[in-house]
Structure 1
Amino acid sequence: MTQSVSQPAFTDLAAVEPPLPLGPMDGRYRAQAAPLINYLSEAALNRARLQVEVEWLIFLLNNQVLPGAPTLSDDEVAYLRSAVTDFGARQISRLAEIEAETRHDVKAVEYLLKEHLKAAPQTLGEGTKLPELNEVVHIFCTSEDINNLAYALNVQGAVQQVWLPTARALQQQLAQLAQDNADVPMLARTHGQAATPVTLGKELAVLAHRIGRQLKRIEATEYLGKINGATGTFAAHYVSVPQADWPTLAREFVEHLGLTWNPLTTQIESHDWQAELYSDVARTNRILHNLATDVWTYISLGYFKQNLAAQGSTGSSTMPHKVNPIRFENAEANLEVSCALLDVLASTLVTSRLQRDLTDSSMQRNISVAFAHSMLALDNLSRGLAGLDVDADRMAVDLDHNWEVLGEAIQQAMRTAAIAGVQGLENPYERLKELTRGRRVDAQGMRDFIGTLGLPEEVEARLLALTPATYTGLAKELLSFLKA
């Protein structure tokens, strides 16, 4: 009986300094995910919360919404906004200390802003009114008033400044590859079987066109926000300052932030816009997944060769002849993870029990992970496409081995000639099926068959001149419909 080996006494990796990453996006793949940190990290969320708090305070005072409250000087406004623009390591550390006491993340941001107000005389002099404005901070706001706007700002920034430019660059890279190969003939495969030839460029253009349509939808996303109190009624606002037009003020403030106002909510902004966006991004991911699997298949068929230097990777660890299509396989896996997260975000964020529950709070903290996996996939796809060399000769060999694909052209020419009154062209499908199904037909065999049909001379000449490589219809011309 084999004696089991006891587990060694491992070093506690959780205690290693600096702290080790738990997941790949903060470790192995941090470089690809790093641009999202400015928008979708916990620190970025707190900075956006601080931005909303600061802008709300400035908005209320400089629009003289609160009777008896002072207006702010330009220097005071600039000082307040510096709390956001200077937000960095020191403020992040201080927030952690405050939250350890408050056990409430939004309250910690509120207290951090109050500390900034208290310190204003050191910068602005003793005449500043800012230290007296503690009670204006977070006035009329529930936490969700701050959170929904902060998330909207951050998701908007992540999509518009990071994800969309990366996705658009890939789409344009793919569109250029399509244009460069617009007239390279290729055997098509439907159901995995040899089918009517296409061009490589046309097939890539289909994917580029699909991706482009989705990016236009995402570019048109509305990022909604609200600031209407504990249950969406402006109740505290109206009781405290009944003379103010609170819905109009709320709309103006939300639009001031660059967002679209949602006038009807419970305590939370309903997150429908998020669900719509994540569904669109997930659909784009799935088209990218289709791109990855198609290119992987073309590589396996020899239609693409991989440039090892451009791929920036080693091939098989044991079989030196291989160059594995790892960029496309990595992209597949990360797109699947991203879609899974985006799907659950889209399906759960639209529901909240009655006026409020906190399921969305935990859910939204995974937005960053969903986009990070998509970013990693985009990076792999771009690097993978850049490392491909087209093997037109290999495609030509496949085309020349599949003359039976001309059966469709011959059948349709027989049909149209018969409709025009030519006799002896009955049962074209059945006759071509007998010739081609389950059999290889070479060039001579196909031409001999054409010669027996009794077609009009002009039609026969056109078919006799046809080859699998030239039977691509308007494939090249169709690329004119591919927009950048």
Structure 2
Amino acid sequence: MTEFRNESDSLGVVRVPSDMLWGAQTQRALNLFTIGHERMPREMITPYAILKKGCAQANHAAGTLPTEIMELIVRVCDEIIDGRHRDMFPLPVWISGSGTQFNMNVNEVIANRCSQLAGESLGSKKPVHPNDHVNKSQSTNDNFPSVMHMSVVIETFRRLLPSLRMLKDHLSTKAKAWMDIVKIGRTHMQDATPLTLGQEFSGYAAMLEESLYRLDAGLGEVYALPLGGTAVGTGINTSPGFGEDAIANIAELTGLPFVPVRNIFAAQGSHDALVHFSGLLKTLAVSLNKIASDIRLLACGPRAGIGELILPANEPGSSIMPGKVNPTQVEALTMVSLQVIVNDQAVSLGGTSGALEMNAYKPLMIRNLLHSIGLLVDAMDSFRINLVDGLEPNRERISDHLNRSLMLVTALAPAIGYESAASIAHHAHETGQTLKESALELGLVTEKEFDQIMVPEKMTRPHD
């Protein structure tokens, strides 16, 4: 049987499981918001502890928080930062649009753990009170969006950028290795002039490098925190300079360049920086979808399709067709890409729904932002390890497609004119001849001229 203790808040007494560190307001939220199965993002727990630690240190420096209280709060925050007490944050995503209950969950856990360390009973709010001490100089309206920014920055630096950089580097390695494999290009899904497989893959690597630049630039806005604005941006119930001092502490604790926002009213009334960053995640997803889809297309077959790339045979592809190899890593990455695009739509709708001095769609927005980052990281790592690293060119098939393509005739156009070159292509297609046979039969070029001009390798580097 579960044992309970009584805790109280401004509305009265609430029964809380006796072995849990949360308090009355968290328990009320658990009782009132039984919506879905998703908890508030785990990626927000450590940043919230960092923020509470930085705020306690700033309040102590301002002379508004006693040393013993500050030290207890800092000690508990360090425990949370070290990964302890993770199961004490049980709230679902779908709570108040401000995130108030999650902020209070953090406040209550810290206060109750301080009580334990001080030898006091849980729920006594001695010697640390969740509102008066842990939440001192703060409102959910400024600390929750600050933690939203912090968690996005931390996850981007810790996971997203390294994963993206590794995938880009591995595609670059393939591009360099395949730079001399001449193949037929394709536009409108039809044969076009030649390029090398390396040139093709260099484009994929460059797309991801450009995403790295975009994300790095987009982080510039996300570094700015509205902490210190409290309820509506005026900074009521704070000491002078509190926000700046707390943010400086956060920057030092994380090693990341967090700074105060230029205008707190803008940052608390809207979340445009996060909407913009979500758009950058969507752009990355669009790039990944194009890269993966191209690889799937080039590998289709292996005998009845293009078949120019050989996929690693990771698993049986069919429950009924023996020997089938399917582009399953492509399918996983493209599904993730579409999910990230949809997540961005939710972030955009949340961002546009703020009213006056506060946006009440914060949990929705941060859930989708962090969900996108996590999915992108996992999918890029899987795609790199299980597909890109084992991908090989089918040189024989590439050569066969190249030599049979009619679009090599493009190189003849400057010498004999567009219409004469077109007549060679049409004649070759109708008769089944090669371009050379057709050109000589039509008498539009000599054999020597044809051999000098019709060199696919030169077509890939016409200015060398």
TM-score in same-fold range (> 0.5): yes
Which amino acid in 2 is paired with 1:465?
Answer: Q
In 2, the alpha carbon distance for the partners of 1:82 and 1:254 equals 13
Which amino acid in 2 is paired with 1:291?
Answer: I
> Is the 8 Å Cα contact of residues 175 and 208 (structure 1) preserved in structure 2?
yes
Query: Structure 1 residues 87, 183: closer, same or farther in 2, change over 3 A?
Result: closer
In 2, the alpha carbon distance for the partners of 1:162 and 1:82 equals 22
Which amino acid in 1 is paired with 2:437?
Answer: G
Q: Given the alignment of the two structures, is residue 444 of structure 1 paired with residue 449 of structure 2, yes or no?
A: no
In 2, the alpha carbon distance for the partners of 1:337 and 1:407 equals 43
State the Cα distance separating 1:373 from its structure 2 match.
Answer: 3.0
State the Cα distance separating 1:462 from its structure 2 match.
Answer: 6.1
> Is the 8 Å Cα contact of residues 225 and 254 (structure 1) preserved in structure 2?
no
State the Cα distance separating 1:443 from its structure 2 match.
Answer: 4.4
Query: Structure 1 residues 450, 348: closer, same or farther in 2, change over 3 A?
Result: farther
In 2, the alpha carbon distance for the partners of 1:204 and 1:356 equals 46
Match of 1:164 among 161, 166, 169: 161
State the Cα distance separating 1:306 from its structure 2 match.
Answer: 2.5
* Alignment correspondent of 1:285: 285
List alignment gaps of at least 5 residues for structure 2. 1-35, 121-125, 301-305
> Is the 8 Å Cα contact of residues 226 and 269 (structure 1) preserved in structure 2?
no
State the Cα distance separating 1:328 from its structure 2 match.
Answer: 1.1
* Alignment correspondent of 1:229: 230
Query: Structure 1 residues 346, 195: closer, same or farther in 2, change over 3 A?
Result: same
List alignment gaps of at least 5 residues for structure 1. 1-21, 27-39, 124-129, 415-427, 455-459, 478-484
In 2, the alpha carbon distance for the partners of 1:76 and 1:188 equals 66
* Aligned-pair Cα RMSD in Å: 3.5
Classify the secondary structure of the residue corresponding to 1:196: strand
Which amino acid in 1 is paired with 2:299?
Answer: I
Classify the secondary structure of the residue corresponding to 2:392: strand
Which amino acid in 1 is paired with 2:79?
Answer: A
State the Cα distance separating 1:64 from its structure 2 match.
Answer: 2.6
Query: Structure 1 residues 149, 384: closer, same or farther in 2, change over 3 A?
Result: same
Match runs of 1:6-155 below 5 Å: 42-61=41-60, 63-66=61-64, 69-71=65-67, 79-88=75-84, 91-96=85-90, 104-121=101-118, 131=127, 135-155=132-152
Matched-pair identity in %: 17
* Alignment correspondent of 1:14: none
State the Cα distance separating 1:122 from its structure 2 match.
Answer: 5.8
* Alignment correspondent of 1:276: 276
State the Cα distance separating 1:384 from its structure 2 match.
Answer: 1.6
In 1, the alpha carbon distance for the partners of 2:135 and 2:69 equals 20
Per-residue deviation, residues 193-228 of structure 1 (Å, max 9, x unmatched): 111111111001111111111112213312221121
* Alignment correspondent of 1:332: 334
Classify the secondary structure of the residue corresponding to 2:192: strand
> Is the 8 Å Cα contact of residues 289 and 332 (structure 1) preserved in structure 2?
yes
* Alignment correspondent of 2:309: 304
* Alignment correspondent of 1:473: 460
Which amino acid in 1 is paired with 2:400?
Answer: V
Per-residue deviation, residues 413-472 of structure 1 (Å, max 9, x unmatched): 34xxxxxxxxxxxxx112222222374251432552796459xxxxx9564234463243
Query: Structure 1 residues 394, 469: closer, same or farther in 2, change over 3 A?
Result: farther
Query: Structure 1 residues 358, 78: closer, same or farther in 2, change over 3 A?
Result: closer
Query: Structure 1 residues 160, 406: closer, same or farther in 2, change over 3 A?
Result: same
State the Cα distance separating 1:230 from its structure 2 match.
Answer: 0.6
Classify the secondary structure of the residue corresponding to 1:187: strand
State the Cα distance separating 1:268 from its structure 2 match.
Answer: 2.3
Query: Structure 1 residues 358, 199: closer, same or farther in 2, change over 3 A?
Result: same
Per-residue deviation, residues 125-144 of structure 1 (Å, max 9, x unmatched): xxxxx936773321221112
Which amino acid in 2 is paired with 1:194?
Answer: D
Query: Structure 1 residues 370, 362: closer, same or farther in 2, change over 3 A?
Result: same
Per-residue deviation, residues 268-321 of structure 1 (Å, max 9, x unmatched): 26322212221112111111111111111111211112231xxx2112221214
Query: After alignment, is 349-358 or 467-476 more displaced?
Result: 467-476
> Is the 8 Å Cα contact of residues 178 and 200 (structure 1) preserved in structure 2?
yes
Match runs of 1:257-268 below 5 Å: 258=256, 259-266=258-265, 268=268
Per-residue deviation, residues 308-341 of structure 1 (Å, max 9, x unmatched): 1xxx211222121421122212221221112211
Which amino acid in 2 is paired with 1:341?
Answer: N
Classify the secondary structure of the residue corresponding to 1:131: coil
In 1, the alpha carbon distance for the partners of 2:109 and 2:390 equals 50
In 1, the alpha carbon distance for the partners of 2:371 and 2:315 equals 25
In 2, the alpha carbon distance for the partners of 1:186 and 1:60 equals 66
Classify the secondary structure of the residue corresponding to 1:236: coil
Which amino acid in 2 is paired with 1:394?
Answer: R
Classify the secondary structure of the residue corresponding to 2:270: coil
* Alignment correspondent of 1:390: 393
Classify the secondary structure of the residue corresponding to 1:318: coil
Which amino acid in 1 is paired with 2:338?
Answer: E
In 2, the alpha carbon distance for the partners of 1:172 and 1:321 equals 32
Which amino acid in 1 is paired with 2:320?
Answer: T
Per-residue deviation, residues 361-401 of structure 1 (Å, max 9, x unmatched): 23322333323332343134221222322111111111111
Which amino acid in 2 is paired with 1:145?
Answer: D
Per-residue deviation, residues 43-98 of structure 1 (Å, max 9, x unmatched): 4423432321222011221x2353xx54469976862443333442xx3444549x
* Alignment correspondent of 2:423: 434
Per-residue deviation, residues 154-195 of structure 1 (Å, max 9, x unmatched): 211211111221121111111111111001010111111111
The TM-score normalised by the length of structure 1 is 0.73
In 2, the alpha carbon distance for the partners of 1:86 and 1:251 equals 21
> Is the 8 Å Cα contact of residues 411 and 453 (structure 2) preserved in structure 1?
no
In 2, the alpha carbon distance for the partners of 1:329 and 1:475 equals 36
Query: Structure 1 residues 283, 363: closer, same or farther in 2, change over 3 A?
Result: same
> Is the 8 Å Cα contact of residues 174 and 204 (structure 1) preserved in structure 2?
yes
In 1, the alpha carbon distance for the partners of 2:299 and 2:333 equals 15
The TM-score normalised by the length of structure 2 is 0.76
Classify the secondary structure of the residue corresponding to 1:366: helix
Classify the secondary structure of the residue corresponding to 2:191: strand
In 2, the alpha carbon distance for the partners of 1:41 and 1:202 equals 44
